[in-house]
């Protein structure tokens, strides 16, 4: 087993930077231009889609948003809709009752506080109902091009598996990844890690020696099963994120 190197916080070691560079090259090889998986045409639609995506698949979200956006293409229209109507339009995805309430409340606040616009500001976004740090980071990055490394439980666990972070929660992992990758790459790396997990990390046990990254980046070959389980299952420590 290889020695586990000191983990990054403020100043990553050369070894960690080299590891991150090599992982970045592999991610670029597999997913050179990763598309944004949630269908949208503007920041409002992206915000809504990301809010809907919690604990459900992007595909399920993309199935409901065309009808939702046809009825509520902007915050004014969404705020004018009864919660029950929104809930009906999104009923096929998980947590629809809560998400419907959050969508309407967020739309009302966008109208009230931000002249019907989605603010390009993390604090303002996170002050909206149903908008957490990860959602705000996705919107900043993908709608406004503002560097932000959105870290969900899957990215958190891949970062640990690849020894890029020993963070005990997604916020610490986010800080570590931001220290390891150039800011202009954060949005792309987020998407690439999501796509890598979906394409390469099966739900069932497998041989990590065949993995293009874990084969050399993980610190032992026997953790592939745990890693694959981790790639599909939120941990109790981080589930609230």
Catalytic residues: 134, 152
The residue at minimum Cβ distance from ligand SF4 is 211
Nearer to ligand SF4, 69 or 196 (CB): 196
**Phi-psi sector, 128: left (phi>0), alpha (psi -120 to 50), beta:** beta
Nearer to ligand SF4, 175 or 206 (CB): 206
* Alpha helix ranges (H) inside 31-185: 43-52, 58-71, 75-80, 83-89, 96-114, 122-126, 133-144, 153-161, 170-180
Query: What residue ranges bind ligand SF4 (CB under 6 A)?
Result: 158, 161, 200-201, 206, 208, 211, 213-214, 224, 227-228, 231
Nearer to ligand SF4, 99 or 154 (CB): 154
Nearer to ligand SF4, 65 or 173 (CB): 173
Q: How far is the CB of 219 from ligand SF4 (least distance, A)?
A: 12
Q: How far is the CB of 189 from ligand SF4 (least distance, A)?
A: 14
Q: How far is the CB of 196 from ligand SF4 (least distance, A)?
A: 7
List, as own/partner pairs, every contact residues 12-20 make where C-beta atoms lie below 8 angstroms and the sequence separation is at least 24, other chains included.
12/176, 12/179, 12/180, 16/163, 16/164, 16/180, 17/180, 19/162, 19/163, 19/164, 19/217, 20/164, 20/180, 20/181
Q: How far is the CB of 161 from ligand SF4 (least distance, A)?
A: 5
The two tokens of residue 199 are: 């394409």
């Amino acid at each position: 087993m290889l020695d586990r190197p000191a983990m990054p916080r403020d100043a990553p070691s050369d070894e960690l930077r080299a590891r991150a560079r090599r992982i970045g090259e592999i991610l670029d090889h597999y997913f050179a231009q990763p598309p944004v998986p949630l269908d949208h045409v503007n920041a409002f639609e992206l915000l809504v889609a990301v809010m809907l995506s919690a604990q459900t698949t992007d595909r399920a979200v993309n199935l409901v948003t065309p009808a939702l956006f046809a009825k509520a293409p902007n915050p004014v229209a969404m705020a004018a809709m009864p919660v029950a109507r929104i809930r009906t339009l999104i009923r096929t995805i998980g947590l629809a009752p809560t998400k419907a309430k959050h969508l309407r409340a967020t739309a009302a606040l966008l109208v009230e506080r931000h002249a019907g616009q989605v603010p390009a500001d993390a604090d303002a976004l996170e002050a909206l109902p149903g908008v957490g740090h990860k959602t705000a980071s996705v919107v900043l990055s993908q709608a406004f091009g503002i560097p932000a490394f959105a870290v969900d439980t899957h990215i958190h666990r891949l970062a640990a598996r690849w020894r890029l972070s020993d963070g005990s929660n997604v916020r610490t992992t986010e800080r570590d990844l931001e220290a390891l990758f150039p800011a202009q790459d954060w949005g792309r790396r987020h998407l690439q890690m999501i796509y890598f997990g979906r394409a390469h990390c099966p739900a069932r046990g497998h041989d990590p020696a065949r993995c293009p990254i874990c084969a050399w980046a993980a610190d032992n070959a026997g953790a592939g099963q745990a890693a694959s389980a981790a790639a599909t299952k939120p941990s109790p420590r981080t589930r609230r994120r």
